[in-house]
Structure 1
């Protein structure tokens, strides 16, 4: 089964674009994924640190307010319970985060409290009293069934609190009691909202966890997770006081980008000891990257279709000359009278059409030109040009023709300037390719009935049919055209190569019977051009 050239071109173009699209999609996706991970990870780490800082700052401020209150004269003996109650209620009204504030004596009996709640009762068994009687104390988040029954709760949700306990001392340093306060955990949600609101603009779908240092219990997070224990690597790193981000895999499939930080204290304040974990699903984080990859693939498929069509059209443009040559050959086989079309835009087609035209001329002319190109022993194996043997045969025929037409033959003996340097620097393989390209440019610079021969190395001989009236002017025009073409850069194996061209010329006329003498004169003129600065033409005339 054979496949036509147009199908091959269209398929090749489409296949190359598809492969490039897949490669580009992979490379861009890979780099974009890394960038998205780093960007989101840094944002989550920054938000974790900011939230841990805000938690600490809030608790430090509330603890400081309770400490300042404990030093007021109303708490010194004799105790003024009414004055203390007024101060406590005033503080609670100023800071609604305080759910309850009370003052207890050294035995834990509540002497005064906000809203008269628990007055006359005892908090002796509570950690806030047991620890606060010794030194300033901040407790962990906890439920309080007693306050939950007493305090109003319109939402019906479980109430959680954070305890602050501060010892009350007289001027001599003797402990008089404990000033205890309970903060509603609702303020932590406000801190969470203040952090997440700007974060959502950069990181979509992030979950926030506040985890206690006691048993790694989740204090704040998705409702289904609150109260459970966390054992993630991010929590272990946060518990060590570190603040950064990482990529974690959960349950063997779900992957998260996780930022973490630890709520360290400042100054004399020990800190809450809570860890802040903020994580985002990698699927959400990389969704824009996947969208970009899909866009690249779709665009690549569209381009592949267009390139396939372009390849189809280009192949049609290329094979059209071949079809014309084929049609001419078919007509030749049937009628015997046809002219092969000539094409000069494409090198291979130019050579093919020139060879076929020479063949047809040989077969159809009554007095044919010598068919010097048909014998492999008569042409140069590297360039395909006729060799010295073919040149001698050609000259015998050309001289007879010139005598009949009373015209002249102009001999151009030319060589390349800088060819040796090309061989030495770029290698003989590049030098061989350069000679092939030079041969093609010589063919472009001459007419079909004129002879171009490679006689060895980088030296060529061109035989021109010129008039009897002004042969030197006609030969000079062709020589200048050759020099201009050779001076243009050659693109060989992706690298531009530059060479020049020196030419020696001599004119044969019917009065000069010996063409070998004219060849010698052209050779001498060539070396004069070389010695005179190269890249020029020099004429020698017979004596």
Structure 2
């Protein structure tokens, strides 16, 4: 940003600040003083909000870890139970009748068990706790792994054929004296712990518990209003992130499209994932209520203070200042009475700035009286000369091109001779109004005296001579229109001389002389003419 542009912005800010009243300044100061306190309260509330999110994140992760631990404990317990059962001779030998009875007793003893069974190495069922129909599991991965490793194995999660609920199968080979596998003892492990964990989570936060197998298929979900259990969600963005890590926390849209905070953990032996998710908006609801409540209380306090200051300023300060301003306005009016008091009440020193502003207003009023042509309302010669001097003193980088139009009325003197000076004054007043309508806002029009006028046009660049000529012709047409003054219909015209600064002269004073010379050339050419200095013959033009 250039220095000139920064300076202009600073001036605009200073101008705007100068227009702000004392009451507004005081209230702005109070607001600035209260701003740190308001900011502190908001920061504390936002910190509390973030802490609520952090606690929710930690809670979901802990609950997921607890579910994984419970699963690991149950699998470990199943391993221990299978080891004990392999020591029972009736089970090792798969004795008809007694084997099934003992396995049924074991099933009733352990709540996590869905049943036990003894199979031969070919995978055929020999005895079980809850079925007598023939069955073969020889093609199952966990069964073949148990035969190969001759050790304890656990299957991936399977969906029960009857219960349609997810479960795992634990397998432990029974070895003979020579170390070969003679039997395989299987135990079905249910997910009762998942339901218990879901009830706890639903009671505390209204969240969900989901179980995914290692391929991203939903094995269980509580609650499941969408009915998506059994569907593969491997393509869902959240599920993909979960499958890439062993454990962690994710903030993303859940399977139902609701933004959720999800903690997850991997279940040992199976590679499955347990995911505990809570709705982010539910967690933040209480924090947002506190934030809105705290912000509302602070806003109420600020409004109360600002309102109190507003009333106090009105009662204690501004009424007296208005009396002073009224006195200053009275001084600047035509009804000034030297015997009237300047102010009806004493002034406190802190209000002097407003008094000074009122006095400056009075000065501007008096200045307008001194520099305004009282007849036409245009600037007078004194103001014109002061304006020209200001233009000359401007820095080169701030100067803009100027078109100078010198105007002299044609046929005005006979009006005074025939109808009197009162009618002539009315005509001049109408001419002043018409000149003001012919120029843009920001251009300068003045009455130099008698029937002589001047117009200064601001140009975008020094090559806009055509615009100056267009304005000159517009003025000629406007002035030449009939005028009704004091009951008489009169017609006059005008001649105009045009010069450009700095195109016609680098010195503004010389450019004014050129405009005057062009005016007389126009008058010599006849009535209602406009002449540009640049179009004058060389012998009539002054070379600068």
Quick one: distance in 1 between partners of 2:344 and 2:286? 60
Match of 1:113 among 128, 145, 151: 128
How many angstroms does 1:88 deviate by? 0.9
Greater shift, 238-247 or 6-15, is seen at 6-15
How many angstroms does 1:87 deviate by? 2.1
What is the correspondence of 1:295-444 to structure 2 with a 5 Å cutoff? 295-316=293-314, 317-322=316-321, 333=337, 335=339, 341-342=345-346, 346-348=349-351
Structure 2 residue 264 is matched with structure 1 residue 260: yes
Match of 1:101 among 99, 116, 120: 116
What is the correspondence of 1:457-472 to structure 2 with a 5 Å cutoff? none
Quick one: distance in 1 between partners of 2:265 and 2:20? 67
Give the count of matched residue pairs.
Answer: 328
Match of 1:290 among 279, 288, 293: 288
What is the correspondence of 1:169-248 to structure 2 with a 5 Å cutoff? 169-193=175-199, 196=201, 201=204, 204-213=205-214, 215-221=215-221, 222-223=223-224, 224-231=227-234, 235=239, 238-239=242-243, 242-248=246-252
In the alignment, structure 1 segments of 5+ residues that lack a partner are: 149-156, 265-270, 357-543
Q: For residues 347 and 4 of structure 1, do their structure 2 counterparts lie closer, same or farther at Cα, with a shift above 3 Å needed?
A: closer
Structure 2 residue 86 is matched with structure 1 residue 70: yes
Alignment match, 1:51: 67
How many angstroms does 1:138 deviate by? 1.5
Q: For residues 253 and 306 of structure 1, do their structure 2 counterparts lie closer, same or farther at Cα, with a shift above 3 Å needed?
A: farther
1:18·1:301 contact (CA, 8 Å) conserved in 2?
A: no
Q: Which has the higher contact order (CA 8 A, sep 6+)?
A: 1
TM-score, normalised relative to structure 1? 0.50
Aligned to 1:89, the other structure's residue is in SS state: helix
Q: For each residue in 1:141-173, what CA deviation from the matched residue of structure 2 results, as whole angstroms up to 9, or x when unmatched? A: 22343xx2xxxxxxxx73443222211112332
How many angstroms does 1:65 deviate by? 0.9
Alignment match, 2:392: none
Q: For residues 64 and 320 of structure 1, do their structure 2 counterparts lie closer, same or farther at Cα, with a shift above 3 Å needed?
A: same
How many angstroms does 1:70 deviate by? 1.4
Q: For residues 17 and 129 of structure 1, do their structure 2 counterparts lie closer, same or farther at Cα, with a shift above 3 Å needed?
A: same
Quick one: distance in 2 between partners of 1:205 and 1:300? 32
What is the correspondence of 1:520-531 to structure 2 with a 5 Å cutoff? none
Aligned to 1:81, the other structure's residue is in SS state: coil
How many angstroms does 1:302 deviate by? 2.5
Q: For residues 89 and 251 of structure 1, do their structure 2 counterparts lie closer, same or farther at Cα, with a shift above 3 Å needed?
A: closer
Q: For residues 251 and 98 of structure 1, do their structure 2 counterparts lie closer, same or farther at Cα, with a shift above 3 Å needed?
A: closer
Alignment match, 2:443: none
TM-score, normalised relative to structure 2? 0.50
Q: For residues 89 and 286 of structure 1, do their structure 2 counterparts lie closer, same or farther at Cα, with a shift above 3 Å needed?
A: same
In the alignment, structure 2 segments of 5+ residues that lack a partner are: 1-17, 360-544
Quick one: distance in 2 between partners of 1:7 and 1:343? 16
Pairwise CA RMSD: 4.3
Quick one: distance in 2 between partners of 1:122 and 1:323? 104
Quick one: distance in 2 between partners of 1:350 and 1:191? 73
Q: For residues 340 and 45 of structure 1, do their structure 2 counterparts lie closer, same or farther at Cα, with a shift above 3 Å needed?
A: same
Quick one: distance in 2 between partners of 1:252 and 1:11? 50
Quick one: distance in 2 between partners of 1:347 and 1:7? 12
Q: For residues 3 and 23 of structure 1, do their structure 2 counterparts lie closer, same or farther at Cα, with a shift above 3 Å needed?
A: same
